[in-house]
Every structure is written in structure tokens, then in C-alpha cells.
Structure 1
Amino acid sequence: MEEKKVTWLELFYDLLIVAAIATVTHVLLHVEEGDIPSEYLLKFVLIFIPIWWAWVGQTMFTNRFGQDLFHQRIFLILQMFFALVMISSLSVDFDSYYKPFLLGYIGLRALISIQYFVAQRTETGDRKKAALFFGKYFLIGIFISICSVFFDSWIRYVILYLGIFADISFPLIGRKHLVKVPTNTGHLLERFGLFTIILFGETLVSTLSVIQPRQDDWHSIMFSLVSFILIISMWWQYFDNLEKKVDKTKETAGQMIIYGHLFILMSLSMIAASIRLLYLAEINYMFILLFIFGASLLYFSSTSLVFHLYRYEHQRLKIYHLSLFLGILAAFFLVNLAFTVPNIIIAGELAIFFMIYAKITT
């Protein structure tokens, strides 16, 4: 498989999208009467998915057809412009900023579709068919989402997500095209890895900025240390698997990497918000218990699934490994249900879980 390197402009683009995700994560910090209202949980998902899919669209085009050419740089710079429009429209009061947010999303998706049409002019055979397929079918998703602007209230979101769902489904429907034009697995894993490490960095910085340990404030200092151990253990597990345990020469459609990372990135944002909420201690004990353990289970499940498919066969985890991890997570959760423990203990338990997860899987 031909080696494909990540360009500096791609990394610059990643910074913008991670900034958008960091802004979305703040939606989870709105606590009312000890809980995060279901409205904000829904808004988190509603805003997160279009941002993730916009980034995935450009990443997948670059992976299969991208070259560091002048016109492709211009396309990416234009996408950064629309990404800025989208980021500027992120707000808890999402309804008021819906139209500029939609403009940013539609602009990003339209540029990706145009790039496929441009690429097919110089391609032949299966590569030409794949480029034409995505260029045409992505326009359908874009058209459906645009129609949402003519409606109000919840109907606009239904139509927006019908378009996004169609968009996300087309690669699955067109799998026969993708199999004939497989991803560059090394480049794809590197792209998701670089994006994830930027999000890890943002998570660490934003978490420590909230905790802000002061001199002789041992609670804050200890909470900072426990939070750091938790985050660095997750980092260790993810990147040691990415670097040492996966077969980067494997040729696939890449869909497990793509769709699995939606849940990895979303759960990482949820865990980051949970750590801050644990420290601020302004949230109902039962709610934060369900929220942070649910996010940790989602992260564990999605990383296990993504890496399992691409691991070297002799290094794949066994059922008893997965049973051990689930057992440890369940044991901590049940103990916390039976006995009300300090929030720092909950963070410490998860730090222990991710240390074990990292040790055994790497």
C-alpha cells in the first residue's frame, strides 16, 4: 500500500474541528437541580454528529483521492471558512443560531461533494465509479438537510437529521464501491489518531483549568493528580494499541474505524465533562454515577471494537479479557451504588480501571 502522509494543512483543519467539539462539550456542563437536563444531552448529540461527519467527509476524500495539490488546498481552506461559521454558531440557545450553523455544515458537505466530481475527471475504472457515486449521492443528503430551513420547531431537526442519516448511510449502501477502492489504513488510523490526541490535549488542559489547584489546597491537588492519571491511562491504552497492535497494511472499507470513532470521541468528551462536574460537586450523585460510568463503558466498548478488527490475529483480546474489564467496571459501579463515596474516589476508581485496561491491552 502506498504511503500517504498527513499534511500540515490537514492538522490545521483538525484544530478548528476540535475547537468546535470542545465548545459542544460545554453543553454538558449546564446543570439544573443536580442533573443535566435531557434537552442539553440531546443538543450535545445533535451538534456533535454533524461536526464529526463534516470532518470525516474530508478525511475520507483525502484518504482515497487526496493529493497535496494547489486546488485541493483551496478546497480545504474554504472548508475551514465554513468550519469557522459553524463554530461561531455553537450555542446552548441552538435554535437562534440554527441557520448559520446549517450554512457552515452545508458548505462543508457541498465542498466535499464537489471534490469528488473534480477527482473523477482524472480517475478511471473503479476509482472513477466510487468518486461519482459519492459525489452524486452526497448531494441528496445535502438537499434533504437544506430543506430543514423551511420549517420550525422540532420538524427542522427531523429533516436535518434525515439528510445527515442519509449521508452517513450512503457509504454503507455503496460498500461494493468502497471494497474495490480500499482505504489507506495507515493514513486513516494516523488521521483519527492525530485528531484524537488533540482532543485528549484539549480535555487535559480544560479539566485542569477548571480544577486550578492552589497552594495548600490538597483536595484540588489530589483531584488534579487523579484526573491526570485517568486521562493519561486512556491515552496510553489508545495510542499503544494504535502504534503497536494494529495491522496498518490491512485493506478494508475502513468503516469500523470511521463509525467506531464517533463513539470514542463522543465518550471522551463526556468523560471530560464528567471529571469537571465531579470536581465542582454541583450534580446529583446518582446522575453523575450513571453518566460517568456510562461514558466509560461506551469508551471501553468502542475502542475494543475498533482495535479488535485491526489487531494482528495472535494479539486479539479473548472473551475472558473483556469479561474481566466489564467485571471491574461493574464492581466499582455496584460498590458506589451501595455506599455513597466522595467524588474523588469515583475518579480514582476509573483511573484504576483504565490503568488495568491499558496494561492488559498493550
Structure 2
Amino acid sequence: MVPMQPRSPVEVHRASTPLELLFDLVFVVAVALASARLHHGIVENHVGHAIVSFVMVFFPIWWAWMNFSWFASAYDTDDVPYRLLTMLQLAGALTLAAGVPSAFETQDFLVSTLGYVLMRIALVLQWSRAWRADPPRRKVIARYIIGLILAQSGWLALLVLPPSIKMIGFITLATLELFIPYWAESAGQSTPWHPEHIVERYGLFTIIVLGESILSASMAIQAAMKAGALDAKMLYLIAGGVLIVFSMWWSYFQQVEHKITESMRNLFFWGYGHFFIFASAAAVGAGIAASVDAALGLTQASQQVTNAAIALPAAIFSLSLGLVHGRLRQAGPVRKAFCLMMLAIVSTIWLDSAVFWIGVSMATYLGFKLAVNRSITV
């Protein structure tokens, strides 16, 4: 066992480790289950319930992943104790994922909560190692430990509270969780996270959530062929799904200049703003799957509902990405084109072949933006 000394924030060629990639793999399962349950809620026309459940499940998935990634960026020693505690976090993530179906179906969050708390206990133990090995930051680290313990006590208490106040309890505890890093980092010398490493980690999680849309497009082809319904309507849907996913990917990774070191305010806006990027990207996959069911006549929801299930997440993704990456600050034709794209996406709620037209709108805007940027740099 080596002392958990802080990593250098200017370390050259800092990249994700195999252990971090294994950690991501577990979260692929959790995100897939959450997206699948949202899809089922939409096609069963239980949209409100499905959205609330999705948010309540996706938040701990995202937050646990994010906390692990930022801690690893600052203190990853990759020794035996670190790996064993990460294994404990993996076990918690699997437990959280196993509880997703019951959370959606019966609002029973027992299994998911226990999995989440297990992950957080492991993180407290990791922070305790850092506290012993990093005296200059002990005040900051102590606040992390205190905040985590208080929050987990709250999550466990929420399990026995009356159902009527559980939503209020969830919002309160989620707010507390979000406040802990800000409270801790403001206590003194901040933790030494690595900017390029964090950007890479967020990019990898973006790939994970986009994978749900790719899976949905693949399942659309499979379902259509099985039902003998690979007609023009289904081909439009598949083409639209591919355009949406590729446009989302290209937009996220196009000339990535994440200015996350300017100030604590910008840092937290960038980090927390990704919740909407990740959640909406995962929801796009559920929306595409719901559109496939609608095309095959397997849904109880109306056309407007299934169209909205893909249009609104796509719009939220585009808006969140523009705000988080600071691309909407630029005036001129690109911003006007963005507004037209947003209007076009929302308008597809009342159109046939909505997935196709959403894909066309996003791809057209992307092409226009690339052309304008190229003309500026030439």
C-alpha cells in the first residue's frame, strides 16, 4: 500500500486507466436499464411517472460516476486498497442497476438506494486515505467526508419516510449532494484534478449514453425485419436515428475546448451541466425505441407523445450542449441557425416521420455550422 498522494494536475499524457474503463462498463448496464424502463413507460402511456422515475434513477447513476471520476483524477494510486475499494463501488453500482426495474414499476427504491449508499461508503474510505496522505488539503477532504456521511444517512432515512414526502426528500438530498463539492472545495486548497483527464472521462461517458441510441437503432432494424415491416416509414426512422446519433456525437466532440479551469463557478457549471447532456442523450435512445414500437403498432401512446419522447430530449441535448460548451455566446448566423434548428425539432412533434426530420434538422445545422466555421478560418 502506497500513500494516497495527490496526482499532478499537469501530468503529461494522463489517460483513463483500465480500472476506470471497467468502472464505466458497469455503468453501461445501469444506463441501459434506466433507458429501457423509460422506453417502456412511454409506450405504456405512463409518461409522467416514467420521466420522474428516470430522473430519480439517473441522478444517482450520474452522480456516483462523476464523483468517482473526479476523485480518481486527483488521487488514483492504482494500488491494492484502491482497487479493492473500487471493486466495492462496482458492487454498489451493480446493486443500484439491479434496483432500477423495481424503482420504475413500484417506486421501490430500496435496492437502488442500498447500492448507491454502498458506493458512497467506499468513496468515504477512499477520501479517508487521502486525508491521511495529503495534510495541506485535510480541511477540504474532511468536508467531503462529513458531507458524504450526512447525505448517506439521509438517503437511508428516506427509505422509511411516508411516500407522500419522498419526492421532497429526494430533491432535498440531491441538492445536498450537489452542494457538498462546492462547500468542500471552498474550504482551502482545492483538490488537484487533471483537466485533460476529466475532459476525456466526460467524453467517454457521452459515448456510453449515445450507445443507448445506437442500440435502439439496431433494434429498430431487427424488429422491422422480424415483423416484415421494413418499409419506407421504417427506413426513414432508421435513417433519422442514425443522423441524430451521429449529429449528437459530432456536435459534442467538434473542436472541444472545455474551459473548465477559469473559475470555480465555470467549473461547476461545466461539470453539473453535463447532467442534462447525459440524461437527454440516454432519453433519446428511449425515444427512438418508442418510435419503433409506434411504427409497429405496439404502443398505447399517441403519435404526439412518441414524437415528443424523441424531440424534447434532442432539443434539451442541443441546448445543454450549447450552454455548457459556451457555443451559444457567439452571435451571428450560427446562433440564428441554432434557433431555427430548435424550432424545427420541436415542430416535429406534430409531424409524421418525426425521427427522420429531427435527424435532418440536426444534421443540417451541424453542416451549416461547419461551413461557417471553415469560412472563418480559411
State which drifts further: 150-159 or 21-30. Answer: 150-159
More moved, 45-54 vs 143-152: 143-152
Cα separation, partners in 2 of 1:185 and 1:80, compared to 1, 3 Å: same
Q: Deviations over 1:176-218 (max 9, x none)?
A: 2477435321111100111111222232023311342438823
Q: What is the root-mean-square deviation in Å for CA atoms of aligned residues? A: 2.7
- Distance verdict in 2 for CA 1:324–1:221, change over 3 Å: closer
Q: What is the CA-CA distance between 1:33 and the residue it aligns to?
A: 8.4
**1:100 correspondence with 2:111:** yes
The aligned residue for residue 86 of structure 1 is 96
Match of 1:286 among 277, 291, 304: 304
Alpha-carbon distance, 1:171 to partner: 1.8
Structure 2 letter corresponding to 1:325: F
Greater CA deviation, 177-186 or 204-213? 177-186
Q: Confirm or deny: 8 A CA contact 2:252 2:321 kept in the other structure.
A: yes
> Is residue 307 from structure 1 mapped to residue 292 from structure 2 by the alignment?
no
**139, 142, 157: which one aligns with 2:149:** 139
Go from structure 1 to structure 2 and tell me whether the alpha carbon gap of 1:201 and 1:267 turns closer, same or farther (over 3 Å shift): same
Q: Which residue of 1 aligns with 2:376?
A: none
Q: Matches of 2:221 and 2:262 in 1, distance apart? A: 44
Report the alpha carbon displacement of residue 110 of structure 1 after superposing the two structures with TM.
1.6
Q: 2:358 aligned with 1:350, yes or no? A: yes
Tell me: CA distance 1:262–1:221, structure 2 relative to 1, closer, same or farther (3 Å): same
Q: Is the 8 A contact 1:274 1:292 kept in 2?
A: yes
On the 8 A contact 1:25/1:269 being kept in 2, the answer is yes
The answer for unaligned runs of 5 or more in structure 2 is: 1-9, 374-378
Pairing 1:134-213 to 2, within 5 Å after superposition: 134-177=144-187, 180-181=190-191, 183-212=193-222, 213=224
Query: 1:157 and 1:108, CA in 2 relative to 1: closer, same or farther beyond 3 A?
Result: farther
Identity %: 23
Matched with 1:262 is 275
TM-superposed deviation, 1:259 = 0.8
* Counterpart among 211, 217, 226 of residue 230 in structure 2: 217
Using the alignment, how far apart are the partners of 1:57 and 1:350 within structure 2? 34
Shift of 1:350: 1.4
Structure 1 regions of 5+ residues with no counterpart?
A: none
The equivalent residue for 2:29 is 19
Change in CA separation of 1:216 and 1:88 when aligned onto 2, cut-off 3 Å: closer
- Paired residues, number: 348
The Cα shift of 1:117 comes to 1.6
In structure 1, the residue corresponding to 2:147 is in which secondary structure?
helix
**How far apart in 2 are the matches of 1:198 and 1:324?**
28
TM-score (norm 1): 0.86
- Verify: 1:7 aligned to 2:17, yes or no: yes
Q: Are residue 124 (structure 1) and residue 135 (structure 2) matched?
A: yes
Deviations 1:132-189 (A, max 9, x none): 2211222111111111122242334433442232111122334424774353211111
Could you say if the C-alpha distance between residues 223 and 293 of structure 1 is closer, same or farther in structure 2, counting changes exceeding 3 Å?
closer
Is the counterpart of residue 274 in structure 1 residue 287 in structure 2? yes
2:217–2:242 contact (8 Å) kept in structure 1: no
| Aligned counterparts of 2:188 and 2:285: Cα–Cα separation in 1 | 35
Show the 5 A alignment for 1:308-327. Answer: 308=326, 317-318=330-331, 320-327=333-340
Q: Which amino acid aligns with 1:333?
A: V
Is residue 240 of structure 2 the alignment partner of residue 226 of structure 1?
Answer: yes
Q: Specify whether residues 32 and 44 from structure 1 end up closer, same or farther in structure 2 by C-alpha distance, changes over 3 A only.
A: closer
Match of 1:333 in 2: 346
- Give the CA deviation at 1:85: 1.2
The structural deviation recorded for 1:300 is 1.0
More displaced 10-residue stretch of structure 1: 69-78 or 214-223: 214-223
Matched residue SS, 2:16: coil
**Do the aligned partners of 2:89 and 2:119 also contact (CA within 8 Å) in 1?**
yes
Residue range with higher mean Cα deviation, 186-195 or 109-118: 109-118
What SS does structure 2 have at the residue aligned with 1:121?
helix
Q: 1:109-120 maps to which residues of 2 (within 5 A)? A: 109-120=120-131
What residue in structure 2 maps to residue 236 of structure 1? 250
Distance in 2, Cα, partners of 1:110 & 1:88: 18
Q: Aligned letter for 2:278?
A: L
Q: Distance in 2 between matches of 1:280 and 1:130?
A: 50
Runs of 4+ in structure 1 displaced over 6 angstroms?
none
| Whole-Å separation in 2 of the counterparts to 1:97 and 1:284 | 28
SS of the residue 1:25 aligns to: helix
